[in-house]
């Protein structure tokens, strides 16, 4: 056992020596510098739509990125307090209207934009955006209708809870809110739906309502995150660190990184760190949402790209789920279409693994056959309206070819050898600018 420990220690020392003496390929350095100088990492669509834009849409397009938010903190606090007062007033008006209807003997009702229809969204600003109340198809919840009553009551309860949170200036995670009211909601999904409905009614993101998502993502690299409570999160640690829950509470980023590598899975994230990717691919920030991304990870990626002017590259499996995860980061999701202005990272590029990687790099025995579920998901992805664009076209073609051949593969099959992902696969893709999106 002692001999094994000595051998392991020797191996670690040798690896550290290799990393310290490691010298990057000049071609990779030049390619990273080219990424850093890109001007399209600002989430502004290259082509404006032909239709007339709303005032809010124009404001969002013209919104400058804030590199240092510490200086603007007093203004942010004041504006936040004003927003809270507006939201509280909105809630009181909604609840008052419900009471007035009941007093008049009229069954109370709530009208909400339907977030289950792709036709209820617009896509011409390079993201999935829920239509305004005037043009969107709506769902009417009537209290006297037995099918609507439970959902109606849940929304009213969430509105009341939000009023309390904002009045007391406190926050709660969705998970905490669920466990405080298990008998009322029964499942986390029902609570999430009620929070989403409340956000739609108030036209406000959940993080402005005192209800925050539980963070599950990890971040690693040469970056420090400054929070409003005075704490500083240094992400340059072994194994990475959990991203903050309160992304809105981040006041400033400090980094020497020149790009962001977004990784689908925790296993690949840890593999890259073990291979010394922070040195071999430096200077880079590596981020993962550990599978299908949570709101916190998407929100953090959006802020990093916008405020630091960094290009983000996505590394996902060459399968329907990997592509869907990439598309969620880039365009947003149907369920969160009302939040896409703060979540969709429209400049995100797909580094790999592409269909071409699957067919050229994966050995035949390691290629997997698509299941019936995979085929249905691919068909649904191909029919997504936002892929009917010059940018989305190549991605759509990849999905079509994958469906035709009936094959898929995981990243581990694309690059099965130790250190090859950091030393060969990723550098060659960056040098060749072999991206989609």
With beta carbons less than 8 A apart as the criterion, state whether 199 and 339 touch: yes
220 vs 241: CA distance, rounded Å: 6
SS (H, E, C) 17-85: HHHHCCCCCHHHHHHHHHHHCCCCCCCCCCCCCCCCCCHHHHHHHHCCCCCECCCCHHHHHHHHHHHHH
Of 135, 121, 122, nearest to 50 by C-alpha is 122
Residues noted as catalytic: 179
Report which secondary-structure segment, H or E, holds 92. helix 73-103
385 vs 393: CA distance, rounded Å: 11
Instruction: Name, in order, each residue with C-beta under 8 angstroms of 131's C-beta and a sequence gap of 6 or more.
Output: 113, 120, 121, 122
With beta carbons less than 8 A apart as the criterion, state whether 361 and 409 touch: no
**Cα angle, residue 431 at apex, residues 429 and 434 outer, rounded to 5°:** 40
Task: Name the residue with tokens 């009341």.
Answer: 160
Q: Is the preceding omega at residue 303 within 30 degrees of 0, hence cis?
A: no
């Amino acid at each position: 056992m002692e001999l094994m420990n000595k051998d392991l220690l020797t191996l670690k020392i040798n690896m550290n020596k290799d990393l310290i003496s490691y010298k990057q390929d000049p071609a990779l350095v030049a390619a990273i510098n080219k990424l850093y100088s890109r001007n399209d990492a600002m989430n502004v669509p290259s082509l404006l739509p032909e239709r007339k834009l709303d005032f809010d849409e124009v404001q969002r397009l013209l919104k400058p990125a804030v590199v240092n938010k510490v200086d603007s903190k007093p203004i942010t606090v004041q504006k936040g307090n004003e927003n809270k007062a507006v939201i509280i007033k909105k809630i009181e008006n909604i609840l008052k209207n419900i009471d007035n209807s009941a007093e008049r003997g009229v069954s109370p009702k709530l009208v909400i934009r339907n977030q289950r229809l792709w036709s209820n969204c617009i896509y011409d600003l390079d993201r999935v955006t829920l239509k305004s109340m005037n043009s969107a198809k709506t769902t009417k919840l009537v209290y006297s209708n037995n099918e609507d009553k439970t959902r109606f009551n849940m929304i009213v309860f969430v509105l009341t809870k939000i009023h309390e949170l904002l009045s007391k200036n406190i926050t709660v995670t969705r998970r905490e809110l669920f466990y405080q009211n298990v008998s009322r909601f029964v499942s986390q999904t029902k609570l999430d739906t009620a929070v989403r409905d409340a956000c739609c009614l108030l036209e406000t993101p959940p993080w402005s309502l005192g209800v925050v998502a539980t963070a599950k993502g990890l971040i690693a690299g040469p970056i420090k995150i400054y929070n409003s409570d005075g704490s500083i999160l240094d992400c340059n640690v072994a194994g990475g660190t959990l991203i903050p829950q309160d992304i809105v509470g981040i006041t400033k980023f400090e980094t020497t990184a020149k790009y962001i590598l977004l990784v689908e899975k925790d296993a690949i994230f840890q593999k890259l760190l073990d291979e010394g990717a922070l040195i071999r691919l430096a200077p880079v920030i590596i981020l993962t949402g550990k599978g299908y991304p949570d709101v916190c990870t998407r929100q953090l990626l959006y802020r990093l790209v916008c405020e630091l002017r960094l290009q983000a590259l996505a590394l996902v499996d060459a399968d329907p789920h990997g592509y869907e995860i990439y598309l969620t980061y880039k365009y947003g999701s149907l369920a969160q279409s009302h939040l896409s202005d703060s979540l969709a990272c429209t400049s995100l590029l797909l580094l790999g693994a592409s269909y071409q990687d699957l067919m050229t790099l994966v050995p035949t025995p390691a290629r997997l056959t698509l299941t019936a579920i995979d085929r249905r998901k691919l068909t649904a992805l191909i029919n997504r309206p936002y892929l009917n664009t010059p940018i989305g076209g190549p991605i759509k073609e990849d999905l079509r070819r994958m469906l035709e051949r009936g094959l898929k593969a995981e990243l581990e099959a694309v690059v099965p050898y130790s250190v090859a992902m950091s030393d060969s696969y990723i550098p060659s893709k960056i040098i060749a600018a072999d991206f989609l999106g």
